[in-house]
Chain A
Amino acid sequence: MSNFYAAMEIGTTRTVLAIGEEEVGGRLKITCHAEIPSTGVRKSQILDINQATSSIKSVLHAIEKKQSEAGSTITLGNAYLVVSGQHIKADPFQGMVPIEGAKVGPEELDAVFRSSRTMQIPKDREFLDIVDQDYEVDALRGITAPRGMSGRILKLNTLQIHADRNRIDNARTAADEAKLEIREPLFAATCAADAVLDEHEKRNGVLVLDIGGGSTGYAAYSDGHLVTTGVIGVGGDHITNDIAHAFQTTNAQAEQLKIESASAIIGRPGEPRVKVPGSSPLMETRTISRRALDTVVNARLRELLTVIRETLEDQDLFNRLHAGVVLTGGGAAMHDIDDLVKRELGMPVRTGKPIHVDGLDGEKFPASFAAVAGALMYASRTDEDRSILSGLIGRFFK
């Protein structure tokens, strides 16, 4: 039997659950996935556990139905949890050991690895990931393979990604209530990056922008490793809110305008007026200026890109991103956002379809599944016993 993994994302606008299966040759394929609108979540944070539980139950039910239709009988007892939100931070930390025998050997490599895992964080924080960046031997930096090198001190640079423990626990509680065990929380932006980037891009310098409903994660790579990552608490919901405020619409109307009519670029050709259907049968359809609509969207996205740009410039990283920008998440589906990013950041841009995971060919917008695809890759890579199949508390799909 093949190995199966599950990953779930409780997002601001939707809850997604995907099951991945290792195919012959080890490549991963998403064999079943489902998504339903989220409730009780704002800006990537759960505000109502009951509603979040209900969303998880609904998406489990949707998966169950699909699996049943496909004749599958596997048991799903746990899943990796993909998380985002501006509570997630990444801090650099350096492991450091003396080189006893004048040359770096296995003992030094093991010791510096253990040293790099000793960073202390407050009790209300929880590690999501520790990413190794590069080694240093004395004054020599940017080393990828230090074994055999001479020197006095060996250092390992890492990026320590951590999150608010209570917020992760809220998601665990909601999942527990839905009879789904959370295996590990994983960071959405780096998961998405793993799914959509190739090694060539990581070496040349690339930025992944994972634009979700409530927040936007970013992950920048250079010289083959992650150099910075984080979350800005602005996402597609902000565009919706701006539209609703500007044109006095309901959120549902604003969401529809954003998806169907709005453009990230002002002045694109098209009908000058956009229809806004009445919010109830008693309300008449009206029209608004397409240019005004695009102006609202453009202002929000330009501001988000300015925040990203200044964040990277503050770390002297902006000019190292020679391979450009890759957009993932539901926000990447915004009309003309690639043109705007290209114009504002002055870099080549592409939409990030997962390239290391199969099974999304029929999807209208595969980039919105990048984070869960990356989480499944992580599961495949690291899960030793791969035991979500049997003997666990779970549900039966017939």
Chain B
Amino acid sequence: MNDSSSMMLIGIGGGGSAIARGVRRAFGEGLRFLAIDTDAATAADCEDFLLLGGNRLSGRGSGGDIVAARLATEDSINSLDPKIEGVRLAIIVTSLGGGTGGGATLETVKRLDSLGIPSIVFATTPFTFEGEDRQRSARGVMAMIEEAAGATFFVPLDKIVGNAERLDDAMRRAVDTMASAVTLFWRLVEKPGYLRLDAERIRHLVSKAGRGRFAAVSSMGPDRARDISDMIARAPLLTTGSGPVRAILCGVLAGEDLRLSEISTISEGVRSAFGNQATTFELATVNDEDTFSGRISVVLLLFEANAKDDYSEEKPAGVLGNKRKKRAAKPLGIGPQGRGRFNNAEPTIWNSEDLDIPTYLRRGISLDV
């Protein structure tokens, strides 16, 4: 299998596409990238672009309206299929809380899932100052994305902007942080190393991984490995989770000078900080002198114990044109919540969904009540 074509980076909405473009610039050639947006202007810097709801919104964007974005996605989601031909793993970057990211991400992930393509979703959630409505919108859709995605990383913007004083600085830092983490992750998979982690292994690991946390750190100098261990232990994004860590994926990227003792230091630092109850620990290295000369970068993914089922059962590869049968094989995504007056009635099942449960709930539609 050709890894460069089996993984695709998908940026959704203005924020997600900006992050994806950052990854594309940092990584260089060989990264398959698709931008999805309701705003036609996003297409300008993207090699491949899917405009959502062209007839409905005329390419002018959703104006921050989640409902309009969701409807636009439903209009255009069929057009996604030819663009993802051959893809076996999708990395999605998006921004939740409003507009196209909030309205289109769920439908996109569900479409991928129906085609047997697991997705890893990196999503920012709104700043606290953006208000409770946006926070609630994000929370509403997060649970539904988790149902359909292989692995999810929800990142509160408050956590990644640090002490930035100006909003534009904060936004730039948020984009840079997300983009650098995804870029390192991409390099980890695509670049050869002595401890190799290829796309198929990643696909297997994340296909049912559930919610996770991530961090990407770098250091140079003689104590670089020790510095990295310290940074990981203090990384704000790694302390946002609520449950114990079940699985760890640790990627070490460096030049040819990477020493075995440094790998041990980093590995032990990660284990001591997060690995007490972890049952899976995957370590991978990349030796890329051109990119990492004198420097060590580490990308760390932690998956929580309340994640989805065990890793052993892999989903079948996607086959276009057989979507309904694939959906039929999927277990129900939501429990009896919301059946209300139909609790004791014979359920109406369609494509494995219980139609007695409110539609807006199953589709993760946020309501500005």
Contacts and interface: CB of A to CB of B under 8 A. Distances in A.
A246 interface: yes
A131 interface: no
Interface size class of B (residues with CB under 8 A): 20 to 34
Contacts of A233: 346-348, 355-356
A140 B127 CA distance: 69
Contacts of A289: 367-369
A288 B340 CA distance: 20
Interface in B352-366: 355-356, 358-361, 363, 365
A45 B23 CA distance: 56
Interface in B305-349: 324, 338-342, 344-348
Given A45-B346, A47-B344, A266-B67, A303 B359 contact: yes
Nearest to B341: A241
Interface stretch (A23-31, A71-79, A290-298, A320-328): A290-298
B194 interface: no
Nearest to A214: B345
Contacts of B369: 246-247, 288-289, 292
B345 A238 contact: no
Nearest to A287: B369
A295 B365 contact: yes
A266 B368 CA distance: 13
B358 A300 contact: yes
Interface in A28-57: 42-43, 45, 47
B340 A299 contact: no
B72 to A, nearest CB: 12
A287 to B, nearest CB: 10
B76 to A, nearest CB: 15
A252 to B, nearest CB: 12
Contact of A245 (B344, B347, B348, B361): B361
A42 B355 contact: no
A295 B360 CA distance: 8
B367 A292 contact: yes
Contacts of B43: none
A45 to B, nearest CB: 7
Contacts of B129: none
A303 to B, nearest CB: 5
Of listed A45, A291, A295, residue having the most chain B CB within 10 A:
A295
A241 B340 contact: yes
A42 B340 contact: no
Interface of A is mostly: helix
A234 interface: yes
A143 B360 CA distance: 46
A227 B342 CA distance: 31
Contact of B345 (A47, A288, A295, A300): A47
Contacts of B74: 302
Interface in A208-246: 232-234, 237-238, 240-242, 244-246
B40 interface: no
A251 B345 CA distance: 16
Given A241-B342, A310-B324, A299 B360 contact: yes
Given A43-B342, A233-B348, A288-B369, A242 B67 contact: no
Contact of B367 (A43, A86, A234, A246): A246
Contacts of B355: 233-234, 238, 303, 307
Nearest to A295: B67
Given A43-B348, A310-B324, A242 B359 contact: yes
A295 B71 CA distance: 10
A182 B332 CA distance: 40
Contacts of A47: 344-345
Contacts of A266: 67, 71
A234 to B, nearest CB: 5
Nearest to A85: B346
B61 to A, nearest CB: 16
A17 to B, nearest CB: 24
Nearest to A242: B358
A205 B355 CA distance: 28
Interface of B: 67, 71, 74, 324, 338-342, 344-348, 350, 355-356, 358-361, 363, 365, 367-369
24 contacts: A42-B341, A42-B342, A233-B347, A233-B355, A234-B355, A238-B342, A240-B341, A241-B339, A241-B340, A241-B342, A244-B341, A245-B338, A246-B358, A246-B360, A291-B67, A291-B368, A292-B368, A292-B369, A295-B67, A296-B365, A299-B360, A299-B363, A300-B360, A310-B324
Given A299-B365, A303-B355, 12 more contacts: A45-B345, A233-B346, A233-B348, A238-B356, A242-B358, A242-B360, A245-B361, A289-B367, A292-B369, A295-B360, A299-B360, A299-B363
